[in-house]
Structure 1
Amino acid sequence: MRPSAPNDPREIGPYRVVALLGSGGMGRVHLGLGPDGTPAAVKVVRAEYAYDPGFRERFARELDLVRRVHGLFTPRVLAADTSGRTPWLATEYVMGPSLQELVQDTGPLPEETVRFMGRAIAQALERVHASGLVHRDLKPGNVMVAGEGPQVIDFGIAHTLGDAQDGGEDRFVGTPGFMSPEAVGGKAPGPPADVFALGGVLIHALTGRGPFGDGHPSTVLYRIAHLEPDLEDVPESLRGIVSACLAKDPASRPTAAQVVRDLGGPVSPAPIASSWLPPAAAERIAGIADEYRDAVATGSRAGGRGRLGGRLLIAGAAALALTMVAGLGTWTAGQAGLIGGLPGDPEEDPGVAQREVCSPKEHLAPEFAEAAEDELTPPNTDEGMFYTNFSSDGEVLAVAGTGGLALWDWRGQTEVARIETEIPARYGHPTFSPNDCLLAYASDDGAHVYHLESGEHTVYAEGFDIGSIAFTRDGGRLVVGSGDASSDSTVLLYDLETGELGTTLADGPTSVRALAVSADGSHVVAQDWLERLYLWNVESGEIIAEGTDSPALNPEAVYFVDDRNLLRPEATGARRQNFTDTSDVTRFVDEDMEEDFRVHDVEYSLEADRVYVTYVPGDYDFSKAYMKVWEYSTGEDLTAEANEGYMHEISVHPEGEVLIGVPGNGNGMWVVDATELRILDRL
């Protein structure tokens, strides 16, 4: 629970917003108080889902279905608006952590606690199934633990049984580790899939781990389909029912009603937390109750932007019926254990928290937030080159030009911050750290790094012309590529915790224009303006591969797709190159590119499975720019799907759903569907 941000609404429908509970793939969740003081978890749907013509119809239909589910161990839907400009949903506020958080904070739970929990969750599923629904994403994160018992939330991808049987809207949904074998095999999951997930949830509660271990999602899914679950630490008295729930054959699993019976029969809500939870868990719930009282007492207001309404704002959702309307799965990648910011002693500056993950919409220094302009003012290419880039969480678009750096809430179409700095022409491509606490850009006088919340500004490699920068995936180091031919070292790696220069990589290009770091930080690749590419082993400092290719103007035009494959520009497009096997190549090229044109920008999206290449003429007449699109996995040219104009500068959203493009006339920006290439909105 955190104080509301300045750009959060003060009111949503009849609810007064007092705090932010969290955010998820569908948006943000607020703690709201009704007119009578009743607390509610108020979820607001992201605007891009409202662009879908069928969204509101599905939202209203599925909301009616979810209203059937309310029982002793499922939160009740209190109110909703499915027809307003910004759809929202209010449910009963559950005063407690998720099971995932509880086990992480206090450790595995005792047998009797898990038995009570299993009976309650199975009762909730029994009601869900009797209502004609399937949850389809039961997991520890979707079980809230309150003093009176567990509450099953987030019917986000619940579908009616009829829809599941028809398969008309079915997709690959669920969370690896708790998906059923039939779902892994691509079949429509029914009630037995929820029972399978229940078995996994009980194992997690008892042991702190999933039934099929950890690892890459594909590895876990293989184990689900072919191997038996790990029941070693499951008590003998529960092993039989848990094993039955996890049977590979759906027909061999018990029903939810049978699970209730086998665990001891129906239960009623507990009178107090200590009657069924161990002391540490009960204390954790009491702490959340204290946080709630503090939030209500103070209002936790930070100058919100008024009643939710008007244009299609986004805030968000994380529970119950929200993700169901998009019909999306829940495979997401997160950042953990990230360094919170620049060097400094938090005791010297107690006003700035040393966060592991920051929100670039909320955690902003006053001088940055106060400098924000009232309206979005997209740069014009007549005023010089400008660059855009999404924050790691996808909530903010950074726009950099000669006039400085602006941070936009691109969905809400508001500017949330502005950093007033002079950026030379053709420099300034904005780069967020993986945890979004830092924003950096390369310039002709060093690598500039801003801590967005404290306002602290640090220049690395000061005095040197810097061609490109990148953060390592763990957020611990800044990788700086020198654009200065007089520099002895080509690439410098700075420790962001100490601010000290660590590794230096030499013998590369005289001037770096683009660079990238492998996911594990073991390799760095740099490209120069002379059509050469260099690949280093960071530990040894040795160059292990080099080659020749055509440069691109975008400093982020080289990608490590994984720890073996590079995606890099070439003369007429891009190529995927396995740097351990030079014969393993896929080319994404425009064979008909006119002689006076050149590659301008290369973008790659793992989530969208797309490679985007933009082309401009030699005289940089952007009105003639065009874009081509390929499917990365197959190399198929999909450009025929692009039917709404041309773009020369693009940034792909981290989740691969949309991209921001600058049209050829250089005025404004487009929000474009990343796969269908339809223009969704104009900024």
Structure 2
Amino acid sequence: MHPLAPSDPTRVGPYRLIALLGAGGMGRVYLGLDRRGRPAAVKVVRAEHAYEPAFRARFADELDLARRAQSENVPRVYDADAKAETPWMATEYVMGPSLQHLIETTGPLPEHSAVHLARGVAQALVGLHAGGLTHRDLKPANVMVSPHGARVIDFGIARALVDGHSPEHGKTVGTPGYMAPETGRGEQTGPPADVFALGGVLTWALTGQGPFGAGHPSTVLYRSENLAPELGRVPENLRPLIAACLDKDPARRPTAVQLLQALGGPAPHEPTAARWLPPAPASAVDAIGNAYRARVVFGDRSRRGRGLLTGASVVVALILLGGFGLWALDGPLPREDEDPVAAEPSTEPEPATREVCDPTEHLAPEFTEAAASEPTIPSVSFRVRTSFSHDGSVLAVAGDQGVALWDWENETELALIESLGERSDTRPHFSPNDCLLAWGTEDGALVYSLETGELTTYAEGRDISDTLFSLDGTVLTVADRGFDSEGSVYDIDLESGETLLVYERSSNRRFLARSPDGEHLAGLSGSGSPSVWETEVGRRIFDQLSGERGLGVNLELLGDGELLFPHEDGPFHYDFLEGSGAGWVIEPEFEDEDEEVNGSLTDFVFNPEADRLYAVFMEDPDDEGFAAATLSIWEYSAGDHPAEATSIDPQIEVLPLRFGVHPGGEVVSAIQPDSETILILDADDLRELQRLG
């Protein structure tokens, strides 16, 4: 749930809009209130589609179908206007996350919860099919989880928004993995296709994985048409029923009525989420309702406040309220008993706007005065991250007491930005011109001007796990890992604070990576699963549900479609642009054939300038806290493909973790837990060069 941007409408039809719920390539969805205060999800079509007569006609047809799709488990259509300048539709607002978001953030559901959910979806399908309708795009993202049970959304309007042209033009409606084989072949589909999709949805709820795995859409589609579903992790007593739903022959699948009966009949209307969900998912569902109530209570108050600000207060109003959680005031407004003249802005000239900053010189006095006499790690927990400036001269060391800036070559501490937030496991990032430093906290994304000391907080109050600057330094991409509907990856304009783009299905992302050309963004979930999006439109083009969560960043976009992400046996290489479905695990090699790697992959990083890949494997600690570990280095481009990378013997006797790569590739930083120091290592073989802190 995002605050409205200045470019968002404040009213659509009879609905007053109070928040942005989401956005996609075809439109935006807002939280609106009617004249009685009843909430609604208001879907507004993008202007460019409003000028297509054929689109408007099909939009009107689909609205008519959507109004017919009324059942207890399908949100009601309250109102719509297909003839408006920008067509819109208002439906019942479901106070809960999508099943996709819920499972990604809290994990698979126990059998009784998943069956309760499936009964609600089956009940919705019974009503749709009885009315002569089919959903055609049932999937976890289109099943909302409310405190009372499942609600099926995006019926009817889905066809107008998903396929932009009529079916005669060869477009297939559906999502690989949940799309029935006959749909993928372009054949006539009906209710059996919805039953097939429900089998996939129930598999996802129980296991966190679709029945035909993940990968490129064409690969998943091939599996669904030709291979048996993967049901090994499904409870044994449910496998026959789900297998029947996923039968390749639609005639052999059960009807929605038969499926509902097999699941136990219509789901009861539960009063609270805690009655049928475990604590973690129940809390995630309740968080949506809490966010709604907070928005309704405080949203009106902020709007009224804007009308009271005039004259000299206009600039303050724009800074304080004009963007997504933007807060750029240096201090509080003066009290009434203070001298107003003393509170006026300084007439001293601001530092010149620089195209490029020198992070060893252009530093605010309050930062340099706080610096220690020698490099000191600003953390008591030693959950520390490091990052080099883009010119390579400064190493930023982030911990729970702030960020220290070190001249690593001369072994001096230049500056200290104190107490940036409680979290100490997010990476600091320099802007491309080295003038700004960004850092994610539990209270928003903090962006400091290194020269002036000015702090701007974006996405204030949100739990931000990672940040990235755009290549031109004008946009900040943040990973918001909140458990409500607002938790996602989105772009924020640094000047206005406006949310520019919300990436499709991007909840629960812990780390971010950008391709060298800036055209793709990758995100790693808390469970180690990567996704890739197109940065221009935010469309998700790759998703892998399996991975290993480690101590480091464990995610690399190398360019030309190459992606490295964690696998327990080693870094996994996949070409998401080629989308062949094949990939390679890069595994350690030993001279002694009997020698084995210790444990599973814990950390890795790629050094493109030195053509080196570094990885750490570690076993679980023993009772005394000791763990065996293996360190590997590869010359990445030495073979015909990544799996043939040449191993190099590491020349280091201690264990390095949480690597940082110098932009010139000449050195690598790492944390040495035993001695609580930062290591500067030679890029070729990780030979120790310096020990700081």
| TM-score normalised by the chain length of structure 2 | 0.48
Structure with the greater relative contact order (CA < 8 A, sep ≥ 6): 1 or 2?
A: 1
Q: TM-score, normalised by structure 1?
A: 0.48
